[in-house]
Structure 1
Amino acid sequence: MELTGKQKRFLRSEAHHMNPLVQIGKNGISETLLDQVDELLERRELIKVTLLQNTDEEAKEVAEIFETTLHCDVVQIIGRILVCFRPSSKEKYQTFSTKVRSI
């Protein structure tokens, strides 16, 4: 799903008050981490991911990996924090995607 500027702005404003749910540390990106992020995106649609100081990963590289493997949109990168969005396939979890479609 290609997001417009207004949709991205809306998602950024919604994510502003959220706490990061995923932390990437010294172990970097693993299959377990990708599975965890995939499950969180399915249930919440919009999540924050933070890169800890002891990781060797770069925010832009992590964003590319998430976009290719998890098929999500990285809405925003600020320093070491990423905001990721993917519409849920289950209707009961579709809170943000219904609002995004209406914009």
Structure 2
Amino acid sequence: MALSNEQKKALRAIGHTLNPIVTVAGNGLTESVIEELNRALNDHELIKIKVSVGDREVKKQVIAEILRITGAEMPQQIGNTALLLRRNPQAKATLSNLKR
């Protein structure tokens, strides 16, 4: 489901205060990175990640692969930092960045 501009604006406001919790480095998408991304998205629903893998095209491909594998949406990307969203109806209110 595509996000409206109002939804993206609200998510960016929440994401502004977040710190990146997953870093994808030169090794790319390893199995452990994917597991951590899925765990973080299940717990927090809205996360910020850092992708430091090289030039723009490689970064674009890695982010596209992350979105495909996790089923998340990307409300915002600035430089090496991307904001990812995957809603979880069973998320705990104490962990979710959307329900606080």
Q: TM-score, normalised by structure 1?
A: 0.80
- Match of residue 7 from structure 2: 7
**Alpha-carbon contact 1:42-1:89 (below 8 Å) kept:** no
Runs (4+) off by over 2 Å: 55-59, 91-95
Runs of 5+ unmatched residues, structure 1: none
Aligned-residue sequence identity (percent) comes to: 26
Q: How many residue pairs get matched?
A: 96
Q: TM-score, normalised by structure 2?
A: 0.83
Output the amino acid matched with 1:7. Answer: Q
**Alpha-carbon contact 1:73-1:84 (below 8 Å) kept:** yes
Q: Tell me the SS of whatever aligns to 1:92.
A: coil
**Alpha-carbon contact 2:41-2:47 (below 8 Å) kept:** yes
Question: 2: distance between equivalents of 1:24 and 1:30?
Answer: 9
**Alpha-carbon contact 1:12-1:76 (below 8 Å) kept:** yes
Q: Tell me the SS of whatever aligns to 2:92.
A: helix
Question: 2: distance between equivalents of 1:74 and 1:9?
Answer: 12
Query: What is the deviation of 1:95?
Result: 5.3
Question: 1: distance between equivalents of 2:92 and 2:40?
Answer: 14
Q: Does 1:79 align with 2:79?
A: yes
Query: What is the deviation of 1:63?
Result: 2.2
Query: What is the deviation of 1:17?
Result: 1.2
- Match of residue 54 from structure 2: 56
Q: What value does the CA root-mean-square deviation take over the aligned residues?
A: 2.0
